[in-house]
Amino acid sequence: MKEQEITLSRIYTDVHRTLKGAIQNKMKFKLLNESALEGISKNLLLDLNARVLQDPTAISTTYIYTISRSFKAIFFYRLANYLYCLDSEDLFFKSCAYRLSEYATARTMIEIHPQAKIGHSFVIDHGVNTLIGATCEIGNNCTFLNNIVLGSKKITYNENKKRHPTIGDNVHISSGAKIFGAICIGNNVIIGPDCVITENIPNDKIVKLKKTQMVISSVKK
């Protein structure tokens, strides 16, 4: 018997239920915009379909939606981002966003700040130890692997302004890549494993380490 695919209606139900549990305040919950929740659900379906399309091990949308830890990180991010942006004057929603984000980080080992802006069809595969900072902006159709950092150049005493990378559309970032500062990565860029980037990258480029060293020696008997 073929497994039933995940529908927009199923995602909307889960979005509604999760936000209700995160807010736990009937009056505040009534302030949520139904059309916005529909928009979140549509984005999540695009994320889900993009993941299934890319991943040869994805049995079905149901498998990724219900089991994948990295997809759950995206699910919780989209909800936390909505709450974070709801009302700049009302700290209640920001508090809910941070709690939801911290819960997602603890559960998935992937940290996406709720302030970050991420386009549609976003894929994180594996994803453990991946960090996306507060002022990051990520375009459409981007794919990240594990152990990626999109961070600021300074460790402490950062100014309250743009300090994290902007990533264009159709960007693929491999495991271990680190991108620091308010720099721009163009469209259609592929970043190879373990690259450390602190300067702008134009459109349509491949970035990779030129040389790595591996030593093979005989086992002493």
Q: Write the pLDDT tens digit of every residue in 25-84.
A: 888 888 888 999 999 999 999 999 999 999 998 889 999 999 999 999 999 999 999 999
User: What burial letters (b/e) apply to 161-182, b meaning 16+ CB within 10 Å?
Assistant: eebbbbbbbbbbbbbbbbbbbe
pLDDT interval class at 1 (50, 70, 90):
very low
What local confidence, expressed as pLDDT, does residue 3 receive? 63
Q: Record the pTM.
A: 0.92
- Matching fold, domains 1-109 and 126-208: no
What's the angle, vertex CA 163, arms to CA 160 and CA 166, rounded to 5?
Answer: 135
Q: Is 201 helix (H, G, I), strand (E, B) or coil?
A: strand
pLDDT one-digit tens code per residue, 185-209? 999 999 999 999 999 999 999 999 8
Tell me the C-alpha distance between 11 and 34, whole Å.
13
Run of H or E including 178: strand 178-180
Architecture of domain 1-109: Orthogonal Bundle (1.10)
Q: Give the CATH architecture of domain 126-208.
A: 3 Solenoid (2.160)
Q: Report residue 170 CA to chain centroid gap.
A: 14
Please, what is the Cα angle at 101 between 53 and 183, to 5 degrees?
A: 70
> What percent of the chain shows pLDDT beyond 90?
79
Q: Mean pLDDT over all residues of the chain?
A: 93
Query: Hey, where are the domains in the chain?
Result: 1-109, 126-208
